[in-house]
Amino acid sequence: MYEHSSTRLLTPREFLWRLLRHVALIAGLVLFSLVIGVAGYMSLARMTFVDAFLNAAMLLGGMGPVGDLPNDSAKIFAGVYALYAGIVFIASAGILIAPFAHRILHTLHADDDD
């Protein structure tokens, strides 16, 4: 996926494209996760779309749920979804940091044959 330290450093344009691919991956992951959360809240907690979206978005953003949940199945879903959302949050941060970390490490370990 990334170039070896013995190869040349990516140009700024190539690096930007790599970064945009990572951002697109994160956007897809967050959108997929949001759809799961909205569907779960709408079906298990009988929330409207707007309330389900708010709860799912707040959990994905690391803030926590917003309203009371009417039954045990909705509460279990909310707990499992909260754990999932935390993992998605951490994974998204890692995916976003990876190109920058690799570029820094590549720069520090690049072979100087000049």
* pLDDT average per 10 residues of sequence, the chain (114 residues): 74 91 95 96 95 93 83 93 93 93 81 54
pLDDT at 19: 93
DSSP H/E element including 9: none
pLDDT at 56: 94
How many domains does the structure of the chain reveal? 1
Beta strands in the chain (DSSP E): none
**Residue 6 domain-assigned (yes or no):** no
pTM value is 0.80
DSSP, collapsed to helix, strand or coil, labels residue 113 as: coil
**DSSP secondary structure string for all residues of 45-68:** S---HHHHHHHHHHHHTTS---S-
**Residue 69 domain-assigned (yes or no):** yes
Task: Judge contact between 60 and 34, C-beta under 8 A.
Answer: yes
pLDDT at 114: 46
pLDDT at 29: 96
Task: Judge contact between 12 and 99, C-beta under 8 A.
Answer: no
pLDDT at 72: 94
**Residue 92 domain-assigned (yes or no):** yes
- DSSP code, position 7: S
Q: What is the CATH number of the domain that holds 37?
A: 1.10.287
**Residue 2 domain-assigned (yes or no):** no
Q: What residue has token string 């941060």?
A: 93
**What range defines the domain where residue 83 resides?**
12-109
